[in-house]
Amino acid sequence: MKPETQINRRREEFPTLASGIHLLSHSLGPVPRATRESMLAYYEAWEQHTGEDAWANSWWEMSAQVGDRIAQILGGDPGSVQVQPNASIALFSVLSCFDFTSSKRNKIVASALDFPSMQYILDAQTPVGARVEMVPSDDGIVIPTERILDAIDQQTALVAISHVSFRSSYRVEVEAIVERARQHGALVLLDVYQSAGAVELKARDWEVDFLIGGTIKWLCGGPACGYLYVRPDLQNQLQPRLTGWVAHGAPFDFASPPMRYDHSVRRFAQGTPGIPALYSVLPGLKMIEEVGVPTVRAESVRRTEFMIDFALERGWKVNSPRDVNQRGGSVMIYVEDGPAMVKRLAERKVFVDCRPGVGLRMSSHFFNTDEEVREAMEILAELMDK
Ligand SMILES: Cc1ncc(COP(=O)(O)O)c(C=O)c1O
């Protein structure tokens, strides 16, 4: 491995790191110590709230504030992100803006490497007139860009695809996809759950229409804080049918229908925001902002190269792209019995997970040391030989 960079890894700020080698940032990251205080602050705010002004004074604003901080990490402008209960709902919110039944433009282009939840939700649009074209992968690791581009045509309403695959860590070429979609009048949604906080994102520069994701992985946040980015100049053209009172222009008027959507990104909200989830993400977001995604990425490139070289030298099968420009922050290594190997590694205090057909999923974040990554690979080598 190239020499370790001197960065503040803030290891003492993550109590869980004392338990062993944590390589699970693609799944659930370790909790920042400061989250304890943040959750207590939530309780205290609740205890002190004695009237409806609680909402107006702080909690109501909090969704927008957290949304703006996530927007910055996504490379978007303030006012471009609405927090959501999870990424699945964020996707459904976007799909509910389309009328697939009455339109000839009813095709959705997705990929075989996307997260199953996304595939289920797209599939659920077929009874309401959508046609889903799932672009296949020959090896379960990558999909040639040309193949994705060829699937985008004049009937395509939406390209909805993972930026980085949960399965192989394959990263698609965003610029080429957005360009082709524009040529054919289609919109583009990227699932950035596996890239936000691990890879630099450029929502504004890419001119992508939607990004969806959540905070529990690379952003070091707690569960139930998903997010939806909508290109600012597109927002007011859309009216999500998955809606609720919080999306109304004057929610506290409690007016009868018809719905009058707010003119901000709040028009993509539904009901009461998940306030505890918002408190749970603040310390993690702060840390990622302070460390900076370019630093996280530089560290990750070094580690993933080391892990891949280590695996290939021993003749193991690597189920992630070799090319760093096609890769996110994880490395997938094939093992015959994934769950058994995960268990044996955990006994040696190395924490990873596995997925069917893929093998182990291993991810280092900025808080991991080179020494830890090397040790984890050496322990894996010992167990592979047994
Ligand atoms: C790429 C990707 N998309 C979506 C999800 C699911 O998100 P949610 O549970 O917030 O709907 C995951 C979860 O692992 C994921 O890895």
DSSP letter for each residue of 73-136: HHT--TT-EEEES-HHHHHHHHHTT---SS-S--EEEEETTS-HHHHHHHHTTGGGT-EEEEE-
Q: Which atom of ligand 1 is nearest to the CA of 85?
A: 10
Q: Rounded to the nearest 5°, which phi and psi values hold at 14?
A: -125, 95
Residue 185 CB coordination number (10 Å): 13
Specify whether the CB–CB gap between 177 and 160 falls below 8 A. no
Q: Convert the pLDDT of each residue in 157-175 to its tens digit.
A: 999 999 999 999 999 999 9
What is the average pLDDT score of the chain?
95
Cβ(330) – ligand 1 distance below 6 Å: no
Q: Give pLDDT, residue 143.
A: 97
Q: What is the distance between the alpha carbons of residues 207 and 76, in angstroms, rounded to a whole number?
A: 10
Mean pLDDT on 178-182: 98
Percent of the chain past pLDDT 70, that is, above it, reads 98
Instruction: Name the pLDDT band for 54 (thresholds 50, 70, 90).
Output: low
Q: Give pLDDT, residue 362.
A: 98
Q: Give pLDDT, residue 333.
A: 98
Q: How far is the CA of 124 from the centre of ligand 1 (A)?
A: 17
Specify whether the CB–CB gap between 327 and 319 falls below 8 A. no
Cβ(214) – ligand 1 distance below 6 Å: yes
According to DSSP, the residues that pair with 135 across neighbouring strands are: 111
- Give the CA dihedral 56, 62, 65, 69, nearest 10 degrees: 180
Mean pLDDT on 325-338: 97
Q: Is 134 exposed, middle or buried (0-12, 13-18, 19+ CB in 10 A)?
A: middle
Q: Which atom of ligand 1 is nearest to the CA of 91?
A: 11
Q: Give pLDDT, residue 76.
A: 98
Instruction: Name the pLDDT band for 47 (thresholds 50, 70, 90).
Output: confident
Cβ(191) – ligand 1 distance below 6 Å: yes
Reply yes or no on whether the pLDDT at 52 is more than 70.
Answer: no
Reply yes or no on whether the pLDDT at 3 is more than 80.
Answer: no
Q: Convert the pLDDT of each residue in 68-86 to its tens digit.
A: 999 999 999 999 999 999 9
Q: Give pLDDT, residue 53.
A: 64
Q: What is the distance between the alpha carbons of residues 215 and 202, in angstroms, rounded to a whole number?
A: 18
Q: Give pLDDT, residue 343.
A: 98
Percent of the chain past pLDDT 90, that is, above it, reads 92
Report which secondary-structure segment, H or E, holds 350: strand 350-351
Report which secondary-structure segment, H or E, holds 210: strand 210-214
CB contact set of 370 (below 8 Å; sequence gap of 6+): 1, 4, 302, 303, 306
Q: For a substitution probing ligand 1, which of 93, 193, 212, 219 has the most ligand atoms within 8 Å of its CB?
A: 193
Joined tokens for residue 27 = 């799944």
pTM for the predicted model, two decimal places:
0.97
